Structure 1
């Protein structure tokens, strides 16, 4: 009789019929089998392992040794696999638009390069469709003699030709080899007509501000407002102020307008903290560009001096 210990990811008596921990090699034989009989539990578990390691026996130091005694040689360990027969539900692919970028601006008639990256955790993506404002503008299909391994990155690209002026919400829809679909996060772009109003956008150039210490100067945060088109004239851009910090109390008051000087592509908005010597949590300042206001008693002919991008 030979003793052994059980290990592995499978559970004795749950994933396979219970083993006693001993096996008897019959008289006249050189070996005896230990049989792993799987139990079908209708659970999706993947491949599991069973490890058997022979256990040494404590034998008395006598001569001749007892017939029941044995030494453990090499190999003293063996591994078996239990493969699952239950099917894992198909997982949805993942997809992201990587070009163009959110807020990009183009001139009307331009050819726009579209690029999407997709992954399918348990298969591969066979079809990628591109949409603009809900309308399909193109698709790219992939067929393989030898499919790629699950989870491998796949890149899909196409050229969107001669795009007319307008604002567009772009998305990509990925379909995997079993028919499941996923939609990317949207990307907003603007396409302006030649000679049309400039497109303005805002970015936090330095988003961290700090009140000064006992002898220190405050550290300001900065927003940068950019424009497209001609720079021959100055451009005044309007914005709204929001966030958890209070305008004029937690930082020097912002007036809601910034002027981009003539000859410059951008202007800067400084958020300068006011040191109030009060313990406070981290606070935020949010600026949102808006179209210029129209006075009720003024008739404005023509178009807006600028368009707000995203």
Structure 2
């Protein structure tokens, strides 16, 4: 067998009927009439203060007021005052353990002996002007499995009551000097070997003299060991997802047990989660009890917060390991940003490849990098009328907008204006706002005119010396439709004619103003020389131009002839 037995109980502190540190006018209503009360010093023990059985629901002694008519005055003052002695909700209490040491073997005898039993000196209510804290009660709930023949002896003062299986077996009530009572369990015919029974001890120290407390027993007293874990350590404000603590006993509770615990942590009870009290009832025969942590949702950005439950010692059980557990409440995630799309430049054009632009905007900076998705439709064809624009855009953390350029592709097709429509699609990290569709219109390149060049007057005649030219040659450039804009048509000049000899210098371009369809280029011959070619020619050829298509013909020839009768080199 073990060399020691440790048992945990509850001490409750009281103010005496009259405090020696206060004047009569200062005595208050919280002073308890049963402590430091008048008593009959001629009676060694005041029996019959409590009934023969414990209350079935509270497992506390039932006050009956004393059965000995010879006791005068009685040291107690009624059921209401007595009910405070061992009240679970007493405001001044703390757990206190005693350890019984084995002092004899064969049989094993366990003993706890304290001849100055003042366990709460300067604690709770304090000594209140006395050398010790003399006014307290002690409740101890234990159990044992009956082996046959065990004994239990108590020696001490003041009140002491022991109940086995809820029945009174030792009655040392009243304010008295040190008294002793031995109980032989074989004298209790209701006990059966091998059966587990409860043993509850109720003690009171009520007078400013000595305080003795001694137990000697061959009973192997035990208490269930309580532990606590977070059986569901994660709670969430989102959806009010609960967390859970589980308190467990290492063996079934012999009677209903109230297991106490304290609650701390960064979360605030009643604000971040529903109140969870400070104790839980462990029903008789059970080994576990649950404590739910129910979050309270709010709109505050707080981050995760903790609820820490720590077991507190009580009567009828001991605290084991682990004695503390944590449930974390995950904060309600902030509302995701709201995304909208607008056409911040709704007009694009093939002319000059002028781009349009969509802008996706958030109502607040992105909490993380977001990918915003969108679909694309419209009458314009992606990849033919405009460069591909993807189907999503990234908005970096801390930013609140992103642009999507629409870059036209120029072609020579005659088309009406065409549209590009972008529509936002839903995503997990953002919500859609009111404006989820926008349109960019691509204006078509205006129809491209077709240019031709020919010799509209293919013969020019040189004048005689000293005369002005009268027979000019001519090239004509035609457009099949009016010029959509100012066009400068360039052409090359070649041939056997020499400028400044056979003809005046030729231009190299012709200008078409908007709406114009024709331009003429004269070939002005120069006076005949004494010697020269009979028929020099000028050849003009159109050159390519953006915004204009070359047709056929694009080349023309003007021949410059000599005046009749003029000598020539070569055939006339």
TM range (shorter): 0.3 to 0.5
TM-score scaled by structure 1? 0.32
